[in-house]
Amino acid sequence: MRIVEDRIEFQRPRILVTGGAGYIGSHTVVELWNAGYEPVIADNFSNSQRWIIDRIKTIIGRPVTVHEVDCCDYDALAGIVQRKGAFLGVIHFAAFKSVNGSIAEPQKYMHNNMRSLENVIRLVDEFHIPDLVFSSSCTVYGEPDQVPVTEETPWKAATSPYGLTKQLGEDLIRDRMPTGAIILRYFNPIGAHASGLIGEVPDGPPANLVPYITQTAIGLREKLTVFGTDYSTPDGSCIRDFIHVVDLARAHVAALARLASERETDVFNVGTGAGNSVLEAVETFMRVNQVGLPVVLADRRPGDIERIYAETTKAERVLRWKATHTLADAMRDAWRWETGLRALEKSA
Ligand code: UD1
């Protein structure tokens, strides 16, 4: 607490959010504020939009501090902490995330994702920042022998340089931070904030399913291609654990709460615990939004995993976190976001 003029002001614990203007980062900034933290964004806007910051401000009803820095630049990162003073934690989202992009430019991915993580680890060490939360991915499991996957499920060889950066990133954290870090393995984040103000902004034609669905539904893409209908699954299409991005954002708040009581380095799956097929996802989108979609069934996409979904009991027990949104909620929110985005483009 500090006394400012004649007011007594509660000082919120400060959290540095790298990649805070991005898809998962922006939703987490909102949830951090709602939970009583002061999020401070570090983003170089290489794959995010400056106007998302204004949208965050509208949702939380106050300004948010933003530093335009590249996490590969250690001095720039350290400058934030020197200027702002004590931080309770860092949530490290900033990374390149395209699977195909990583296959095309493996060195760029390896350099960016590993260097920025090394810098973040150095930052928390040098400035005695107690907590770190790291964005990992279910991609570390590769093609699993059994589903659901638990945190103990053995890793398979990474299927892309992007996946390799997540495996190496986890190893680096466990090696360098025996205490104070939580690794969250995200399954398939989808949806958008219920306000329709923030969501995913794909750079060019989307590679991921849900933005491709919404862009097709709005007429930006000619048709949705479903990759593979001959998998050994009930309807022949792949199975994923689609998690609403707001649930995912809240898992980061739960991770900070956990670190406040137990500073052990640990890892958690962050999914819903249920698998849905690609065709079910498409059907749910059409049903809840009453929107038709031109769909073409096609061959498998090289590198796709047949089925993966999370065992989430560890997160429920230890983090006291559980996804609460349904697939239908996520599809409704994704569509609200997409329609708002195009309305914005038209008025610009
Ligand atoms: C991939 C990554 C994951 C990453 C995620 C988001 C792997 C194995 N997975 O997930 O780590 O977090 O991207 O960047 O590296 N699909 C279609 N038509 C489309 C697009 C997708 O049928 O137009 C299908 C895919 O074939 C797949 C499913 O939808 O079966 C999900 O694909 P996608 O959204 O790209 O995510 P993943 O590949 O599961």
Distances (CA, A) of 339 to 54, 144, 192, 205, 219: 18, 36, 12, 17, 11
The pLDDT tens digits of the residues spanning 126-159 come to 999 999 999 999 999 999 999 999 999 999 999 8
Collect all residues with Cβ–Cβ distance below 8 Å to 26 and sequence separation of at least 6. 20, 48, 52, 55, 56, 198
The pLDDT tens digits of the residues spanning 4-18 come to 444 455 689 999 999
Identify the band that residue 247 occupies on the pLDDT scale cut at 50, 70 and 90: very high
Mean pLDDT of 114-137: 97
Residue 162 annotated as catalytic: yes
Q: Whose CA is nearest to atom 17 of ligand 1?
A: 226
Is the C-beta atom of 238 inside 6 A of ligand 1? yes
Is the C-beta atom of 103 inside 6 A of ligand 1? no
Cα 315 to middle of ligand 1, angstroms: 23
**Residue 2 reports pLDDT greater than 90:** no
Is the C-beta atom of 137 inside 6 A of ligand 1? yes
What pTM was computed for the model? 0.96
The total number of residues shown for the chain amounts to 348
Is the C-beta atom of 276 inside 6 A of ligand 1? no
Q: Exactly one of 162, 186, 212, 309 is catalytic; name it.
A: 162
By three-state DSSP, how is residue 310 classified? strand
What pLDDT shows up at residue 1? 39
Q: Judge whether 236 and 280 are in contact, CB under 8 Å.
A: no
Report d(CA 184, CA 194) in Å as an integer.
23
**Residue 111 reports pLDDT greater than 60:** yes
Place of tokens 């699954």: 233
Cα 56 to middle of ligand 1, angstroms: 27
Q: Whose CA is nearest to atom 36 of ligand 1?
A: 208
Q: Judge whether 7 and 228 are in contact, CB under 8 Å.
A: no
What angle in degrees, to the nearest 10, is found between the helix axes of 278-289 and 209-217? 40
The pLDDT tens digits of the residues spanning 164-204 come to 999 999 999 999 999 999 999 999 999 999 999 999 999 89
- Taking Cα atoms as reference points, which of 344, 178, 189, 172 lies closest to residue 251? 189
Is the C-beta atom of 211 inside 6 A of ligand 1? no
What pLDDT shows up at residue 303? 87
Residue 227 alpha carbon, nearest atom of ligand 1: 22
What pLDDT shows up at residue 345? 80
Cα 209 to middle of ligand 1, angstroms: 6
Tally of CA atoms within 13 A in the half-sphere of 328 that contains its CB: 4
Is the C-beta atom of 207 inside 6 A of ligand 1? yes
Cα 227 to middle of ligand 1, angstroms: 10
Tally of CA atoms within 13 A in the half-sphere of 208 that contains its CB: 18
Place of tokens 């400035």: 127
Distances (CA, A) of 30 to 49, 67, 99, 183, 253: 16, 17, 27, 20, 10
- Taking Cα atoms as reference points, which of 31, 45, 65, 47 lies closest to residue 133? 31
- Burial of 309 by CB count in 10 Å (0-12 exposed, 13-18 middle, 19+ buried)? buried
How many CB atoms are closer than 10 A to CB 154? 9
- Taking Cα atoms as reference points, which of 68, 345, 70, 89 lies closest to residue 218? 345
What pLDDT shows up at residue 84? 77
